[in-house]
Chain A
C-alpha cells in the first residue's frame, strides 16, 4: 500500500479523468482502470482487476463507483478509496449542473447526438476487447465449471431476463455446492 500526497493526487486526477469519459454504462470503467492502474502503473495485476470487477458487480450500487473505490483502496488504503469516490462523482456533478440549466438545447442538439452515436461504436469495441482478455484468463484455468458459468450467466441475464441479484446468488450457491462435493469425494 502506498501513502503520500503524490499518489493521492494521481488517484484524484486519474479518477476524475476516467469518470469524465464513462459513456455507455459503468462497465467501460473496467478497461479504463486496466489501462491506468494495471498496464501503465502496475499497481495491481489483471487477476486482481477481475477479482475487483466481480466484487464491484456483485454488490449494490454502480459498478463504476464501486470499482473506483476498490482500485483506490488497493493502491492507497481507505484514504485512496475515499479520494477515488470523491473524484468519480465530481465530473457528473459539474456536467449535470451545466446541462440541467440548458437541457432543452442539449437534448435537441444534432452535433452532440452525432458525437454520442459515434461513441457507441467506441464503447462496443472497448467492451469486446476487454471481454476477449477476460475470457482467455478464465479459460486458462481449464475448469469446465467456471468456463460454463460465463455462457450460462449470459443466457440467464440476456435471453431469459432473470434478475442479476438472483443469478449471482445462484452462482454462489453452485460454487459452495461444488466445493462441498469435491471435499466429500476426497474423504
Chain B
C-alpha cells in the first residue's frame, strides 16, 4: 500500500471518529500517527500541536496537513487533509438535505431545534475555554482573582463593545487584537 493511500485512509478514519472537533481528537490522532504507524516521534507530535494552534485553520486540518507534509510531501499533505475532511463534509451535506426535505415532520423539526440549542451550549463551552485562556493565560477552572490579566480584560471588553455597537468585520477585530497583543505583550 502506498504511503499516500495509507495517509488518506488513516485520516479518513480520524475524521470520521472526531465528532465535536477541537482538542478531543488529539489523542486519536496521536494513537494513529505516533503509536500505530510510527510516522513521527512523540516530541514532534507535541510540536505539531503547538504549531497547529498557532496557525489559522482547524486543529484537525492543520495536524493532518503537517503530518502529511512530513512523510509524503505536498501530495501526502493533500491526501491526509482531504481524508480528514471528506466524511464530515459528505455527512453534513446529506444531513442538511435530509432536514430540508423533511421540514414538515414534527420529529425532524424538533430534533433540529434541539441540536441548535445543544450546539449553542457546546459553543459556550468552547468560548469559556478561550476566554479563560485569554484572560488568565491558562484554562484550568478555579482561578483566583489576582492572576487576572487586566489589560486583556480591557481589550476584550472594548472589542466586545465595538462589536455589539457597530457590527464590524470580524477580520478587523482579529487585526486589532493582534496589534494590541504586539504592543502590550512584547
Q: Chain B residues with Cβ under 8 A from A79's Cβ?
A: none
Other contacts beyond A55-B115, A120-B152: 10, CB < 8 A: A57-B123, A58-B95, A92-B57, A96-B77, A106-B51, A107-B47, A121-B155, A146-B116, A155-B121, A168-B19
Could you tell me the distance in whole angstroms from the C-beta of A24 to the nearest C-beta in chain B? 6
Q: How large is the interface on B (under 10, 10 to 19, 20 to 34, 35 or more residues)?
A: 35 or more
- The closest CB in chain B to the CB of A61 belongs to B88
Q: Which residues of A contact B (CB under 8 A)?
A: 17, 19-28, 30-32, 35, 39, 50-66, 69-70, 73, 78, 81, 85, 88-89, 91-93, 95-97, 99-100, 103, 106-107, 110-132, 134-135, 138, 141, 143, 145-147, 149-158, 163-165, 167-168, 171-172, 174-176, 178-179, 182-183
CA distance A88 to B88 in the complex (A): 14
Contact with B174, one of A21, A146, A149 (Cβ below 8 angstroms): A21
Q: Are B110 and A124 closer than 8 Å at their CB atoms? A: no
* Interface 1/0 per residue, B81-114 and A, CB below 8 Å: 1101101110111011001000000110011111
Q: Are A70 and B56 closer than 8 Å at their CB atoms? A: no
Contact with B117, one of A89, A92, A97, A146 (Cβ below 8 angstroms): A146
Q: Are A24 and B96 closer than 8 Å at their CB atoms? A: no
Q: Are A129 and B61 closer than 8 Å at their CB atoms? A: no
CA distance A60 to B115 in the complex (A): 14
- Count contacts between A and B, CB distance < 8 Å: 354
Q: Are A62 and B54 closer than 8 Å at their CB atoms? A: no
Most buried by A among B74, B88, B95, B169: B88
Most buried by A among B77, B120, B174: B120
Could you tell me the distance in whole angstroms from the C-beta of B65 to the nearest C-beta in chain A? 5
Q: Are A113 and B171 closer than 8 Å at their CB atoms? A: no
Could you tell me the distance in whole angstroms from the C-beta of B77 to the nearest C-beta in chain A? 6
Could you tell me the distance in whole angstroms from the C-beta of B109 to the nearest C-beta in chain A? 8
Q: Chain B residues with Cβ under 8 A from A131's Cβ?
A: 120, 123-124, 127
Asked if B55 CB lies within 8 Å of chain A CBs, one says: yes
Could you tell me the distance in whole angstroms from the C-beta of B129 to the nearest C-beta in chain A? 8
Q: Chain A residues with Cβ under 8 A from B54's Cβ?
A: 106-107, 112, 116
